[in-house]
Amino acid sequence: MARDNATSLKRLERELGHEFSDRSLIIRALTHASALPSARSATENYERLEFLGDRVLGLAVADMVFQTYPKAEEGELARRLNHLVKRETCAEVAAEMGLGEMMVIGESEAQSGGRSKVALLADMCESVLGALYRDAGWEAARRFIDNHWRGRMLAWSGNQRDAKTTLQEWVQGKGLATPNYKIAERSGPDHAPLFTVTVAVDGMDNGSGTGPSKRLAEQAAAEEVLRREGVWSESGK
């Protein structure tokens, strides 16, 4: 770990509000495969904890959104959830915690800017959450998520309507056929797939979107068309 290991861990524990009884968990959560011998790289890096933390974050944020917006329909809840658990949001939280400088990464990864890569910061944010959950339980993880995500939830002013529904209503209002969605690509490991979906609308360029599920990718594709056509502004208002 960069600089003083013990000092870095203590600072991170203060950020998390928890002192680890099993510090190997948090060390593993911060360890990239590039820092390990090949024989250990598959199981002793952050990825298994990232898999767990992704689920912990999703459930905690879904419950927070569900309780905060009792009148919101499913589509609005999904948009709020997607905004809060997306890669960029997780990377912001990771940066706030200083995870970039705490990462245990190989020299080549460090030289290529690994400590500031959005994807890696987001993954390690989730792996740290997974470690926190394993060592301290659900309530500690939920409390940390509430502290770092609730403000973002309340501050978000993006479009709250369901993008697919909005696009369908808009094209029907113009006398056009229902938008046609197709999966263009599926990538990533089984535990964290990434879908790319295109949407075709008569007389317009296709829209494209990606997401961790087919439905979220469809929403992103519909949103691209809505923004491009000026139906939704970039500010979301």
Is 123 annotated in some ligand binding site?
yes
Q: Which helix (H) or strand (E) holds 121?
A: helix 118-136
Q: Would you state the pLDDT for residue 69?
A: 94
Domains of the chain by residue range = 5-155, 163-228
Q: Which of 19, 22, 44, 54 is catalytic?
A: 54
Q: Residue 2 above 70 pLDDT?
A: no
Q: How far apart are CA 209 and CA 196, in angstroms?
A: 6
State both tokens at 6: 């013990």
Catalytic site residue 139? Answer: no
Cβ atoms 31, 44 nearer than 8 A: yes
Confidence at 190, pLDDT banded by 50, 70, 90: confident
Q: How far apart are CA 218 and CA 224, in angstroms?
A: 10
Catalytic site residue 234? Answer: no
Q: Residue 108 above 90 pLDDT?
A: no
Q: Does the domain formed by 163-228 have CATH 3.30.160.20?
A: yes
Longest dimension (CA), the chain: 65
pLDDT 10s digits, 55-95: 999 999 999 999 999 998 887 888 889 889 999 999 999 99
State the virtual CA torsion across 137, 143, 148, 151 in degrees, nearest 10.
Answer: 150
Which CATH number fits the domain 5-155, given the four candidates 1.20.58.410, 3.30.2130.30, 1.10.1520.10, 3.30.365.10? 1.10.1520.10
Q: Which of 63, 101, 126, 146 is catalytic?
A: 126
Q: Would you state the pLDDT for residue 191?
A: 78
Confidence at 116, pLDDT banded by 50, 70, 90: very high
Q: By 3-state DSSP, what share of the chain in percent is helix, strand and coil, each rounded to 5?
A: 60, 10, 30
pLDDT 10s digits, 127-179: 999 999 999 999 999 999 999 999 999 998 766 677 888 899 999 999 999 99
Q: How far are the Cα atoms of 27, 150, 218 from residue 50, in angstroms, in the given order?
A: 13, 21, 25
Is 88 annotated in some ligand binding site?
no
Confidence at 3, pLDDT banded by 50, 70, 90: very low
State the virtual CA torsion across 69, 72, 78, 79 in degrees, nearest 10.
Answer: -90
Average pLDDT, integer, range 215-234: 87
Is 135 annotated in some ligand binding site?
no
Q: What percent of the chain has pLDDT over 70?
A: 93
pLDDT 10s digits, 24-48: 999 999 999 888 887 566 678 999 9
Q: What does the radius of gyration of the chain's CA atoms come to, in whole angstroms?
A: 20
State both tokens at 137: 């339980």
Q: With helix as H, strand as E and coil as C, how does 1-44 read?
A: CCCCHHHHHHHHHHHHCCCCCCHHHHHHHCECHHHCCHHHHCCC
Confidence at 1, pLDDT banded by 50, 70, 90: very low
> Any idea which residue has 């229902």 for tokens?
178
Q: How far apart are CA 132 and CA 2, in angstroms?
A: 21
